[in-house]
Every structure is written in structure tokens, then in C-alpha cells.
Structure 1
Amino acid sequence: PSMGSVGDSYDALMENFWSTLKIELVYRTSWRTRDEAENAIFTYIDGWYNTRRIQKDLGWRSPDEYETAWHSDQTQHDEATIVQPEPTGAR
């Protein structure tokens, strides 16, 4: 069944995700029980796909590395360095 609704692009995103999951995990592994398979898929999604995989749009960093760098950069700036916009006169 469709993952999105009429007029949105969620179907393409989900098809890409499921394709990647199958190629990188499902087709390369066999499990003895359904529980083993479910745990492996959960681990892939939660522990690998979302947090450790490097991504071009994040400067070839993982989401974890990108977020850590972002927070580190934010803590280096104090409130004094925040530039306030100049008021624009009456309209």
C-alpha cells in the first residue's frame, strides 16, 4: 500500500529507504527466528541508518557528528555576539 497521500512525495522516499534496507541488510543476512530478524532491522534503522551513516549533505559526516559539531559551535558563541537587526523606521 501507499505510504503517502495524493499529491505528496513520501512514496518515493519510503521506496528508497526500503530498497536501501533490503540491499544492505535483508538480502545479505538470514535469521533463525522472526525475533532475530526484527531485532536486526531495528538495530539497522535506529543504530546505523539514522545516526552513523555519513551523508554528503552534512559535509560527509554522520548525523551524530554533524549535530555534535553544531552544538559545539553554538556554545562557542555567547549572547554578546548575536547581531540584533537594526530597526527599520516607520512605514
Structure 2
Amino acid sequence: YASAEYQTLLARHQIVCSMSRKGNCWDNAVTERFFLNLKMERVWQRQYANHAEARRDITQYIVGFYNPVRLHSTLGYLSPAAYEAKSIEKEPICLSEIT
């Protein structure tokens, strides 16, 4: 991802690369942690009969537990749903007294 060819392609399409300094692994840490938690807390605890069963169970885990319930230190110990709801709360717009 740091190659000149790849960076040129991104620049040509006006895409900003989500990458910090060379060799910094923190850019993907949250995503990698999600997949580790998914495997540890769900997938490795089950034996799925087929892909459809796995898909249903993993979807239920994400929608029913991970997003609304599971607390995350990177989100200030809020669940993803609570963090998102908090981030969209806005102060009401005040109208000026000047007409």
C-alpha cells in the first residue's frame, strides 16, 4: 500500500489513503480487533452445519449483541450503537433575535 504505483493510482482518483507513517499497524487495529472478538466470542464457540447457518448466527451476534450491547474502550466504553447515537445528537439551532 505504500508503493509509488499504488499511491499514484489513489491520487489520480483523488482518494486519500488511510495510512499513517510507514510500518504503523494501528490504522487497522479496531477492525482487526472486531474480527478477533467475532471469532473468539462466537465463531470458535460454535459448529455450523453450513454457510447459511453461520451467516444467520454471525448476523445475529453483530446486530443483536456487538452493535447494541458490547462496550468498546476505543469508543469511551460505549457500544457502537450508543456511540453513533451520541455522535448524531446535535444542539438545536438557535435563531437570531435580529430580524
TM (norm. structure 2) is 0.50
Query: What corresponds to 1:39 in structure 2?
Result: 56
Identity score, percent: 29
Larger radius of gyration: 1
Structure 1 gaps of 5+ residues are: 82-91
Q: Deviating runs (4+, > 6 A) in structure 1?
A: none
Structure 2 gaps of 5+ residues are: 4-18, 20-24
Q: Is the 2:75–2:83 contact (alpha carbons within 8 Å) kept by the matching residues of 1?
A: yes
1:21 aligned to 15, 34, 38, which one?
38
Alignment of 1:1-80 (within 5 A): 5-6=1-2, 8=19, 9=25, 12-72=29-89, 74-75=90-91, 77-80=92-95
Tell me the distance in 2 between the aligned counterparts of 1:54 and 1:39.
Answer: 22
Compared CA separation, residues 17 and 29, structure 1 to 2 (3 A): same
